[in-house]
């Protein structure tokens, strides 16, 4: 259960709309099911009351939407940002992707979001409704009359289990209390893979990446990936969709996708969240983050606006590429 | 049936100002290095996008080497410093995916180092030949 309520957020949004501070609100609304919450733009209090949603499935990070929405919306746009979203927000500002003047950011605390795959693993398929308002999630399926009660802690998304920060790094106004940066165990999984033999690593990634259907959702959702034209969208490149053969092509897509955001990836976890094939994309991003931290000093993308990303920076005595393998940690 | 002798195909990205001239010098001095090293001239080592390296592998290279001016000598002042960071991360990532680390290399070769160029290519070709064909990064659609 989240600490702040839907009513609190609607009230805030409605008052900002009423006093003219903002002219539209970027918020969450119900999708096809109770768990596929989608982003939406609200313009009136009535719309908010009818469709606005805030619960354990509001994982969507709105930062990237600001790039297009600030251009479309007359006046200021209100955006609700969870702590991890604020890092993406800052990163986009650093890259001059939207006009800060056109945004009114309200920071909201987050108790962690639920992963629907974990919910389904417990409650089974055929979920008809999920009620997040009580202490536990009440999951109703079409097969049972009584709802299955699930502790939110048991179905936390991976990125929330390993949450890196409950602190907001950007906002105009804060609802509730701010938290702290957390020293999470987010690199443990990466270290486990590093400890495997090359053959095991290859088999591990072959197994994961060959499931990719190249829907490009991971690219589209990523707040660090905001190019308007993408090499993976070029119909003449032979890279724009999945090859019919089992080949290196998926791996190339994944290496380049992760590389393109290396140093700019805030580890928001959106890519892993949206992947319909449950590919652990965060393990690729975190490998880059871990390497950057150990080669060039710790760096958290988005922690402050205007910081220089490690790949557009250098020192004259940087590590040589050949030395990467002489270090014990690889 | 005659078995074709295996010779690795090596792609060498050489920066125009130093390493390409170094390769030229190696030729002028009649120094031997394997004919299977295909040189691609780039304006500066930092012109090499990680995608170039992966595309070379995808299209059948067995090893990819990148040569540029020595750090501090880049003709665009700082290009090779960026190359150095990029390739360090890329190589580490390839290793993380279980791809043999001997298949990739970065070497700084100046215009005066013809001998170093030839020695580097000989050594690299030998290491790659010992690994055999590049299976992990190939793309069946690109097989000749
Ligand atoms: S790569 Fe994934 S974790 Fe990193 S910023 Fe993009 S969506 Fe977020
Ligand atoms: S979201 Fe998943 S399946 Fe879709 S392209 Fe990305 S990794 Fe592949
Ligand atoms: S010009 Fe040679 S590396 Fe930049």
pLDDT, tens digit (0-9, with 9 covering 90-100), for A163-207: 999 999 999 999 988 999 998 899 999 999 999 999 999 999 999
Cβ contact, residue pair B93, A255, below 8 Å: yes
Shortest Cα–Cα distance, A137 to chain B (Å): 38
Residues A309 and A237 in one domain: yes
Please give the pLDDT value at position A14: 96
Across the interface, of A201, A259, A322, the residue whose CB is closest to B50 is A259
A179 in a domain, yes or no?
no
Atom of ligand 1 nearest to the CA of A282: 3
Domain that holds residue A204: 188-325
Residues A68 and A103 in one domain: yes
Residues A281 and A222 in one domain: yes
Cβ contact, residue pair B81, A314, below 8 Å: yes
Residue A85, CB-side half-sphere exposure with 13 Å CA sphere: 23
Six-digit token pair at A299? 């760096």
A1 in a domain, yes or no?
no
Residues A192 and A267 in one domain: yes
Average pLDDT over residues A6-15: 96
Residues A98 and A234 in one domain: no
Residues A306 and A207 in one domain: yes
Please classify residue A230 by burial: count the beta carbons closer than 10 Å to its beta carbon, then call 0-12 exposed, 13-18 middle and 19+ buried: middle
Q: Nearest chain B Cα to A290, which residue?
A: B89
Residues A67 and A52 in one domain: yes
Among A215, A216, A251, A212, residue whose Cα is nearest residue A230: A216
More confident of the two residues B125 and A237: B125
Q: Measured between CB atoms, does B113 come within 8 Å of chain A?
A: no
A180 in a domain, yes or no?
no
Cβ proximity of B18 and B111 under 8 Å: yes
The tens digit of pLDDT for each residue in A112-136 reads 999 999 999 999 999 999 999 888 9
Q: What domains can you pick out in chain B, each with its CATH number?
A: 10-142 (3.40.50)
Ligand 2 contact via A275 beta carbon (within 6 Å): yes
A182 in a domain, yes or no?
no
Please classify residue B122 by burial: count the beta carbons closer than 10 Å to its beta carbon, then call 0-12 exposed, 13-18 middle and 19+ buried: middle
Average pLDDT over residues A23-52: 94
Q: Measured between CB atoms, does A89 come within 8 Å of chain B?
A: no
Q: Is the pLDDT of residue A330 over 50?
A: no
Among A300, A296, A283, residue whose Cα is nearest residue A187: A283
Ligand 1 contact via A222 beta carbon (within 6 Å): yes
Shortest Cα–Cα distance, B13 to chain A (Å): 15
Distance A229 CA to ligand 2 centre (A): 18
List of chain B residues whose C-beta atoms are within 8 Å of the C-beta of residue A288 = 89, 93
Residues A18 and A138 in one domain: no
């Amino acid at each position: 259960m989240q600490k702040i309520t839907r009513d609190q957020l609607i009230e805030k949004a409605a008052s900002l709309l009423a006093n003219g501070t903002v002219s539209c609100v970027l918020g969450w609304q119900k999708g096809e099911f109770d768990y596929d919450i989608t982003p939406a733009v609200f313009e009136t209090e009535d719309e908010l009351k009818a469709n606005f949603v805030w619960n354990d499935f509001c994982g969507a990070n709105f930062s990237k939407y600001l790039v297009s929405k600030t251009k479309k919306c007359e006046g200021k746009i209100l955006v609700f940002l969870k702590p991890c979203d604020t890092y993406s927000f800052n990163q986009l500002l650093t890259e001059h992707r939207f006009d800060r003047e056109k945004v009114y950011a309200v920071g909201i605390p987050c108790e962690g979001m639920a992963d629907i795959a974990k919910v389904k693993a417990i409650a089974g398929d055929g979920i008809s409704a999920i009620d997040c308002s009580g202490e536990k999630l009440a999951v109703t399926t079409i097969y049972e009359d009584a709802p299955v009660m699930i502790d939110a802690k048991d179905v936390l998304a991976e990125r929330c289990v390993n949450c890196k920060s409950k602190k907001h790094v950007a906002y105009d106004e804060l609802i509730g209390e701010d938290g702290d940066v957390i020293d999470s165990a987010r690199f443990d999984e990466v270290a486990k893979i590093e400890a495997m033999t090359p053959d095991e690593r290859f088999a591990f990634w072959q197994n994961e990446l060959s499931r990719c259907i190249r829907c490009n959702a991971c690219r589209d959702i990523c707040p660090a990936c905001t190019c308007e034209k993408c090499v993976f969208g070029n119909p003449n490149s032979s890279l724009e969709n999945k090859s019919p053969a089992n080949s290196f092509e998926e791996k190339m897509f994944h290496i380049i996708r992760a590389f393109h955001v290396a140093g700019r990836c805030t580890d928001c976890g959106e890519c892993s969240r949206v992947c319909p094939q449950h590919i652990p994309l965060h393990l690729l991003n975190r490998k880059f983050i871990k390497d950057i931290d150990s080669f060039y000093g710790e760096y958290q993308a988005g922690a402050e606006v205007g910081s220089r990303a490690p790949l557009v920076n250098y020192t004259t005595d940087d590590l040589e590429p050949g030395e990467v393998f002489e270090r014990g940690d690889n | 049936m005659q078995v074709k002798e295996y010779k690795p195909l090596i792609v060498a990205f050489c920066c125009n100002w130093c390493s390409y001239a170094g390769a030229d010098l190696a030729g002028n001095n009649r120094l031997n290095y394997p004919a299977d090293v295909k040189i691609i001239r780039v304006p500066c080592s930092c012109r090499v996008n990680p995608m170039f390296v992966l595309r070379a592998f995808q299209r059948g290279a067995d090893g990819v080497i990148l040569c540029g001016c020595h750090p501090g000598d880049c003709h665009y002042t700082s290009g090779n410093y960026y190359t150095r960071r990029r390739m360090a991360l890329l190589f580490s990532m390839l290793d993380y995916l279980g791809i043999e680390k001997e298949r990739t290399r970065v070497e700084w070769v100046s215009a005066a180092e013809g001998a170093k160029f030839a020695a580097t290519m000989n050594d690299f070709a030998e290491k790659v030949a010992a690994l055999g064909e590049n299976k992990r990064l190939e793309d069946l659609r690109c097989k000749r």
